[in-house]
Amino acid sequence: MTTPLVEMRQIDKRFGAVQALRGVDLTLQPGEVLGLVGDNAAGKSTLMKILSGALQPDGGQILFRGEPVRFASPAEARRRGIEMVYQDFALCDNLDVARNVFLGRWPLRAWGIVDRAAMQRAAEAMLRRLRIDIPAVTLRVRALSGGRRQSVAIARALSFDPAVLILDEPTANLSPGATQEVLRVVAGLRAHGVGVIFISHRLQEVFEIGDRVTVLKQGRHVATCRVRDATEEEVLELIVTGGRPGAGAGAPPPAG
Ligand SMILES: Nc1ncnc2c1ncn2[C@@H]1O[C@H](COP(=O)(O)OP(=O)(O)OP(=O)(O)O)[C@@H](O)[C@H]1O
Ligand SMILES: [Mg+2]
């Protein structure tokens, strides 16, 4: 068996009175798309913010390529090759596509002048590689549709050449057409050997592009299964019941 790209073991996280994560395990294999699903407040974003260094766990361990790691900041996670595109991804609306892709790292010529031509060429190459269809990298991001903005956010994350890309609900608020565009980009990342963790509320999408799916409920790991071995109905059942037979949507939360 190959060493997992990422292994999160027994991760705990508390915010004041809220126990957001309790002993959660997650593994990501190289070149796979892992769906991460669960109801609101299941802990999906919190778990991924821990992996990307934005939050520190209270307990548990993270292994990256088999080696224990600790990320005190997103910059440290980035140095190891872990990138996250947040739910409310931060693009600068009034800057063009190329400047957004290379935000904070604009290439300079002599006397500190931004090398626009170099930046545009690099941005075009990146979009081509991802088969992202944007008419011109000189367009302001403000002028783009939701799907294309999401694609620019993904291109920006990939410009750091990560081994792991985390996407937090990349298709929320997108039209069906824009959603397909983003799913196609994400599915294409496999060919580049990038491991993707894809948070979604839409199981259909996870079944369309995922290799495996991990289910969380109320801060606990419920199950991880191969997409091709399961049905959407089965995974939905796990999301709703937390894998406890007889527990329905209206059941009280577990004690403790
Ligand atoms: N910074 C924070 N401060 C306090 N509580 C937080 C914070 N971040 C998350 N929480 C709480 O932790 C729990 C898990 O939240 P999280 O955002 O990880 O859930 P989620 O699965 O991503 O939900 P959603 O599907 O709504 O995005 C929730 O009860 C939430 O209110
Ligand atoms: Mg979330």
Q: Is the C-beta atom of 46 inside 6 A of ligand 1?
A: yes
**For 92-113, what is the mean pLDDT?**
89
Cβ 53 vs Cβ 75: under 8 Å: yes
pLDDT more than 90, % of the chain: 66
Stronger pLDDT, 175 or 141, i.e. the higher one: 141
Residue whose CA is at the smallest distance from ligand 1 atom 27: 40
On whether residue 103 sits in a domain, the answer given is: no
Residue 44 Cβ contacting ligand 1 at under 6 Å: yes
pLDDT for residue 151? 87
Q: What is the DSSP letter of 111?
A: G
Q: Is the CB of residue 45 below 6 angstroms from any atom belonging to ligand 1?
A: yes
Predicted pLDDT of residue 256: 43
Residue 120 has pLDDT above 60, yes or no: yes
Look at 62 and 90; give whichever has higher pLDDT. 62
CB 49 within 8 A of CB 77: no
Q: Which residues of 87-96 are buried (b: 16+ CB within 10 A; e: fewer)?
A: eebebeeeeb
97 is a domain residue: no
DSSP 152-168: HHHHHHHTT--SEEEEE
Residue with CA nearest ligand 1 atom 4: 15
For residues 168 and 251, the model is more confident at 168
Query: Would you place residue 173 in the very low, low, confident or very high pLDDT band (cuts 50, 70, 90)?
Result: confident
Q: How many domains does the chain have?
A: 1
Please report whether residue 98 resides in a domain.
no
Tokens 């809220």, located at residue: 18
Whether 1 shows a pLDDT value over 90: the answer reads: no
Instruction: Please tell me the number of the ligand nearest to residue 24's CA.
Output: 1
Residue 41 Cα, ligand 2 centroid: separation in angstroms?
A: 7
* CB-based contact 89:111 (threshold 8 Å): no
57 lines ligand 1 (CB under 6 A): no
Q: Is 41 in the pocket of ligand 1 (CB under 6 A)?
A: yes
Residue 128 CA, ligand 2 centroid: distance in Å: 30
Would the pLDDT of 251 be above 60? Answer: no
Q: Give the Cα separation of 59 and 9 in Å (integer).
A: 9
Does residue 43 line the site of ligand 1, with CB under 6 A?
yes
How many Å apart are CA 82 and CA 47, to the nearest integer? 13
What's the whole-model pTM score? Answer: 0.90
Cβ(42) – ligand 1 distance below 6 Å: yes
196 belongs to a structural domain: yes
What CATH number did the domain enclosing 189 receive? 3.40.50.300
How much distance in Å is there from the Cα of 253 to the middle of ligand 1?
16
User: Which of 13, 36, 39, 44 for mutating ligand 1's site (highest number of atoms within 8 Å of CB)?
Assistant: 44
Average pLDDT rounded to a whole number, residues 73-89: 90
Distance 254 CA to ligand 1 centre (A): 18
Distance from Cα 168 to the centre of ligand 2, integer Å: 7
Range of the domain at 153: 6-90+146-241
Nearest CA to ligand 1 atom 28: 41
133-158 confidence digits (pLDDT tens): 889 999 999 998 888 888 899 899 98
Q: What is the pLDDT of residues 197-206, one digit of tens each?
A: 999 999 999 9
- 20 CB under 6 A from ligand 1? yes
The pLDDT assigned to 60 comes to 98
Q: 12: which 2 tokens?
A: 């705990």
- Does residue 215 form part of some domain? yes
> Locate tokens 């609306």: which residue?
93
